Chains A and B, each alone.
Chain A
Amino acid sequence: MMKSLGSIRRSFAPWADPASKPFISVKNVTKKFGDFTAVDDLSLNIYTREFFALLGASGCGKSTLLRMLAGFEQPTSGEIILDGQNLAGIPPYRRPVNMMFQSYALFPHMTVENNIAFGLKQDGMPKPEIAERVAQMLKLVKLEKFAQRRPHQLSGGQRQRVALARSIAKRPKVLLLDEPLGALDKKLREETQFELMDLQQELGLTFVIVTHDQEEAMTMADRIAVMSHGKVVQVATPAEIYEAPNSRFVADFIGDVNLFDGTVIGVEGGSLRIETTSGIQLRMASPEKPASGAKAAVAIRPEKIRISRQPPDHAPVNTAEGEIWDIGYLGDMTVFHVRLKDGKVVKASSLNAVRAVEDPLGYDQQIWISFGEDAGVVLKD
Chain B
Amino acid sequence: MEKWSRFNVASVVLGFGFLYLPIVLLVIFSFNESKLVTVWAGFSTKWYSQLWHNQGLLDAAWVTIRVGLLSATCATVLGTLAAVALVRYSRFRGRVLFSGMVYAPLVMPEVITGLSLLLLFVAIGLDRGFWTITLAHITFTMCFVAVVVQSRLLSFDQSIEEAALDLGATPVRTFFAITLPVIAPAVFSGWVLAFTLSLDDLVISSFTTGPGATTLPMKIYSQVRLGVTPEINAICTILIGIVALGVVVASIVTKRREVHRERDERAAIAAIG
Seen from chain A, the residues whose Cβ lies within 8 Å of a Cβ on chain B are 70-72, 91-94, 97-99, 101-103, 105-109, 118-119, 122-123, 150, 152-158, 166-167, 170
Choose among B167, B269, B271 the residue that contacts A122 (Cβ–Cβ < 8 A).
B167
Q: Are B169 and A93 in contact (CB under 8 A)?
A: yes
B127 sits at the interface (CB 8 A): no
B2 sits at the interface (CB 8 A): no
Known: A103-B159, A108-B160. A153 touches B173 (CB 8 A): no
Subset of 21 A-B contacts with CB under 8 Å: A98-B167, A101-B163, A105-B157, A105-B159, A105-B162, A106-B163, A107-B160, A107-B163, A118-B167, A118-B177, A122-B167, A123-B168, A152-B265, A153-B267, A153-B268, A155-B268, A156-B272, A157-B272, A166-B163, A166-B167, A167-B166
Within 226-273 of B, Cβ neighbours of A (below 8 Å) are at: 261, 264-265, 267-269, 271-272
Q: Are A170 and B168 in contact (CB under 8 A)?
A: yes
Chain B residues within 8 Å of A152, by CB: 261, 264-265, 268
For the residues of B in contact with A, the DSSP-based class is helix
Chain B residues within 8 Å of A72, by CB: 162, 165
Bound complex: CA A93 to CA B166 (Å): 5
Chain B residues within 8 Å of A158, by CB: 268
B55 sits at the interface (CB 8 A): no
Bound complex: CA A150 to CA B178 (Å): 14
Q: Are A93 and B160 in contact (CB under 8 A)?
A: no
B181 sits at the interface (CB 8 A): yes
Q: Are B166 and A70 in contact (CB under 8 A)?
A: yes
Q: Are A119 and B182 in contact (CB under 8 A)?
A: no
> Closest chain B residue to A72 by CB distance?
B162
Seen from chain B, the residues whose Cβ lies within 8 Å of a Cβ on chain A are 157, 159-160, 162-170, 173, 177-178, 181-182, 261, 264-265, 267-269, 271-272
- Pair count A-B, CB < 8 A: 78
Q: Are A118 and B169 in contact (CB under 8 A)?
A: yes
Tell me the smallest distance from the CB of B9 to a CB of chain A, in Å: 41
Bound complex: CA A98 to CA B173 (Å): 18
Choose among A101, A108, A122, A157 the residue that contacts B162 (Cβ–Cβ < 8 A).
A101
The 8 lowest CB-CB distance pairs between A and B, nearest first, are A119-B167, A122-B168, A105-B163, A105-B159, A155-B272, A92-B165, A153-B264, A109-B181
Tell me the smallest distance from the CB of B88 to a CB of chain A, in Å: 13
Q: Are B271 and A103 in contact (CB under 8 A)?
A: no
Q: Are A105 and B160 in contact (CB under 8 A)?
A: yes
Bound complex: CA A92 to CA B267 (Å): 36
Q: Are B178 and A107 in contact (CB under 8 A)?
A: yes
> Closest chain B residue to A119 by CB distance?
B167
Q: Are B264 and A99 in contact (CB under 8 A)?
A: no
Bound complex: CA A100 to CA B163 (Å): 8
Interface centre among B160, B163, B169, B173 (most CB of A within 10 A): B163
Choose among B159, B168, B178, B182 the residue that contacts A93 (Cβ–Cβ < 8 A).
B168
Known: A91-B165, A93-B168, A103-B157. 17 other contacts (CB 8 A): A92-B162, A93-B170, A94-B168, A99-B163, A101-B162, A101-B163, A106-B160, A107-B164, A109-B182, A118-B164, A118-B169, A119-B168, A122-B169, A152-B265, A155-B269, A158-B268, A170-B167
